Chains A and B, each alone.
Chain A
C-alpha cells in the first residue's frame, strides 16, 4: 500500500550548517509513528520541511500521492497534513473558541467536500473543546491559560483542521505525569478515529507506549527505523543517547 506520507532523500542546510541529510521516511495510513532524537538532531527542521514552513534543498515530500514541492503550508494543511508547534503559538487577540474557528473556517471550509454553516462550526468547536478538556475556558484568552492548557489548545487547533495526518511536535515537554497521560489519551483517541499520528517526543515512556514504529534522528541523519523495542536495543541508538 502506498505510504500516506513519503519523504525521499530530504536535505536541508542553513548556510554552511547541514541540518538534515538524505532523510527517507514513510508513514503508512493509520500508523502511529514515534520520532525521537537528541536536541538539535533536526526533528523540528524535518517537521518544518514536511509542513512547508521551510523549503528543503534536496529531496521530495509526497503526501497522499501528491508532490508537495513549492506548496505553501496552508495548502498542505488543506490537503490533510497538520502539525502542532513545539512552543504553542496561539492567536493571542482571540478567545480559545475563536482560535478553533480559524482552521474550521480556513481549512475545513476551503475543501470542496465540506462546508460547515456557522452553527455547525460552533458545534464542532464545542466538540473539540470537550475532547481536549478546555470547554470551560472557551471564552478566555490564551494568556489566561496554563501551560498544559495551551498545549491542549495547540493540539485542538491542529485537530480542528480535520487532518489525515497529524504531527505532534513535543506536545508533552515539561508536563507532569498525569498531564502527559492526558495528552497521550487524546492522541490515542485520534489514532482510533483513523488519523495517522506522528509523535515527536523526548518523554520515552510516552513514545514507547504510543508508537507502533520508531524512527531515530541523530545529527540530521536517520539512524534507525523499526519496531520500538528493536530500535531501543540498537547499539548505535544507545550510544547516541547515553554516550553523549
Chain B
C-alpha cells in the first residue's frame, strides 16, 4: 500500500471511530479511551527508537512530562489553543531529545538507556524545584468552558484530540518503516558497525529517531493538564508510564506499527479493568510480570510469536 493511501485510510478510520463514539453517552468511556489512545501514541513513539532502531529509552516519562509542563507554562502565560500546546510540547521534547541524543548516542546502546533514565530523574528534580509550575505541590488547571469547533463535552474533545494524535503517530511510524530512513534504522538495529561501514550515517539517523520519538511523546503529554486538571510531578513522571511504554510494544511486537497498537490496546484495556476491579498496585505488578515474561519467552511479541510458526512452515 502506498504511504499516502495509508494516511487516507488512517484518517478514515479515525473519523469512523469518532463517528461511532458520538453515540456513547457514558463519559467514563472517553476518560478510559483517552488513556488507551495515549498509550497507543507512547508505545508507537517508543517503538520508533526502541523497536526500529534498537535503542531502549527508559525515560519516556520525561519526554511526556515535558509536554505536559510546557502546556502548563503556556497556559499560565496566555492560554493558547490546543494545537499550539501540542506543537509546543512536541517542540520542547524534540529539542531536549536532540540535546540528550547528541550527548549520548555516540556510546553503546546500554549507556544511552541508562542516560535516558538519568534524564527523566533530572527533569523530575528540576520540575519539582520550579515553583512557577507548582513544584512538588502541583498545579490546578481549569478546563476551558467549551471546546473549539466542537459540539459536546470537553472530555470528548480531548478524546478526539488524542485519537487524531494516535492516528498521526501510527502514520508516522508506518511512513518510516517503508522509507529509506526505515532501512537505515533497521541496519542500526541489526548491526550498527556493519551499517556504519555500509555508508549509513548512524549518528544522524539515531538523532532523527530520538527527536521524532521524543516529540511524539511530548505531544502525547501536552493535553494532560486539561485531562487531569491537577498536575503534579508524580502524575506526570510516573514509572508506570515508562514501564508500559516498553511493555506494550514488547507484547504486541516491535517490528512494525501494528505491534505497539495491539499491545497498547490490549494492555491498557486490561489495566483499566484491573484498576477498577482489583487494585492499582496489583495491576502495576501485573504489567511488570507481563513485561518480564514476554521479554524472556516471546521477545518478538505476540506478532513475532505467530510469525515464527509461519516461517517454520514455509521452511
Residue in B183, B190, B199, B255 whose CB lies within 8 Å of A74: B199
Q: Which residues of A contact B196 (CB under 8 A)?
A: 53, 72-74
A102 adjacent to B191 (CB under 8 Å): no
A74 adjacent to B187 (CB under 8 Å): no
Report if A101-B183 is in contact (Cβ < 8 Å); known contacts: A90-B191, A93-B189.
yes
A110-146 interface with B by 8 A CB criterion: 110
Q: Which residues of B contact A106 (CB under 8 A)?
A: 180, 184, 198-201
B190 adjacent to A93 (CB under 8 Å): yes
Residue in B193, B198, B203 whose CB lies within 8 Å of A77: B198
Kindly count the residue-residue contacts between A and B in the assembled complex, taking CB atoms under 8 Å apart: 78
In the bound complex, what is the Cα–Cα distance between A157 and B266 (angstroms)?
Answer: 41
A94 adjacent to B186 (CB under 8 Å): yes
A64-112 interface with B by 8 A CB criterion: 72-75, 77-78, 82-83, 85, 89-94, 98, 101-103, 105-108, 110
* B202 at the A interface (CB under 8 A): yes
Residue on A nearest B184 in the bound complex, by CB: A106
Q: Which residues of B contact A110 (CB under 8 A)?
A: 199
* B195 at the A interface (CB under 8 A): yes
* B277 at the A interface (CB under 8 A): no
B193 adjacent to A74 (CB under 8 Å): no
Residue of B186, B191, B198, B202 contacting most chain A CB atoms (<10 Å): B198
A89 adjacent to B184 (CB under 8 Å): no
Q: Which residues of A contact B193 (CB under 8 A)?
A: 53, 85, 89
In the bound complex, what is the Cα–Cα distance between A35 and B281 (angstroms)?
Answer: 63
Q: Which residues of B contact A93 (CB under 8 A)?
A: 186, 189-190, 255
* B194 at the A interface (CB under 8 A): yes
Closest Cβ–Cβ distance, residue A13 to chain B (whole Å): 20
Q: Which residues of A contact B203 (CB under 8 A)?
A: 72
* A161 at the B interface (CB under 8 A): yes
Residue in A53, A72, A92, A103 whose CB lies within 8 Å of B198: A103
* B25 at the A interface (CB under 8 A): no
B191 adjacent to A89 (CB under 8 Å): yes
* A196 at the B interface (CB under 8 A): no
* A211 at the B interface (CB under 8 A): no
Number of interface residues of A (CB under 8 A): 29
Closest Cβ–Cβ distance, residue B180 to chain A (whole Å): 6
Q: Which residues of B contact A98 (CB under 8 A)?
A: 183
Number of interface residues of B (CB under 8 A): 20
Q: Which residues of A contact B191 (CB under 8 A)?
A: 89-92
Residue on B nearest A88 in the bound complex, by CB: B194
B190 adjacent to A94 (CB under 8 Å): yes
Residue in B180, B190, B198, B201 whose CB lies within 8 Å of A157: B198
* A45 at the B interface (CB under 8 A): no
B213-268 interface with A by 8 A CB criterion: 255
Q: Which residues of A contact B189 (CB under 8 A)?
A: 93
B186 adjacent to A103 (CB under 8 Å): no
Closest Cβ–Cβ distance, residue A224 to chain B (whole Å): 29
* A60 at the B interface (CB under 8 A): no
B197 adjacent to A102 (CB under 8 Å): no
Q: Which residues of B contact A157 (CB under 8 A)?
A: 194, 198
* A51 at the B interface (CB under 8 A): yes
In the bound complex, what is the Cα–Cα distance between A108 and B180 (angstroms)?
Answer: 13
B197 adjacent to A77 (CB under 8 Å): yes
Report if A77-B199 is in contact (Cβ < 8 Å); known contacts: A53-B193, A89-B194, A91-B191.
yes
In the bound complex, what is the Cα–Cα distance between A31 and B175 (angstroms)?
Answer: 45
Residue of B190, B199, B202 contacting most chain A CB atoms (<10 Å): B199
B197 adjacent to A83 (CB under 8 Å): yes
In the bound complex, what is the Cα–Cα distance between A108 and B196 (angstroms)?
Answer: 14
Q: Which residues of A contact B184 (CB under 8 A)?
A: 102, 105-106
Q: Which residues of A contact B187 (CB under 8 A)?
A: 91, 94, 102
Residue on A nearest B191 in the bound complex, by CB: A89
A161 adjacent to B198 (CB under 8 Å): yes
B199 adjacent to A107 (CB under 8 Å): yes
Residue on B nearest A108 in the bound complex, by CB: B199
Q: Mark A206-235, 1 if CB is under 8 A from B, else 0.
A: 000000000000000000000000000000
Q: Which residues of B contact A92 (CB under 8 A)?
A: 190-191
In the bound complex, what is the Cα–Cα distance between A91 and B255 (angstroms)?
Answer: 14
Q: Which positions in A face B, CB cutoff 8 Å?
A: 51, 53, 72-75, 77-78, 82-83, 85, 89-94, 98, 101-103, 105-108, 110, 157, 160-161
Q: A92-B190, A94-B183 are in contact. List 11 more A-B contacts (CB 8 A).
A: A53-B196, A74-B198, A74-B199, A78-B199, A85-B194, A91-B191, A94-B187, A102-B195, A105-B184, A106-B201, A161-B199
Q: Which positions in B face A, CB cutoff 8 Å?
A: 180, 183-184, 186-187, 189-191, 193-203, 255
- Some 9 contacts from A to B, beta carbons below 8 A apart, are A73-B197, A74-B198, A74-B201, A77-B197, A77-B198, A89-B194, A90-B191, A107-B199, A108-B199
Top 7 closest pairs, chain A to chain B, by CB: A107-B199, A89-B194, A106-B199, A91-B190, A103-B198, A73-B196, A77-B199
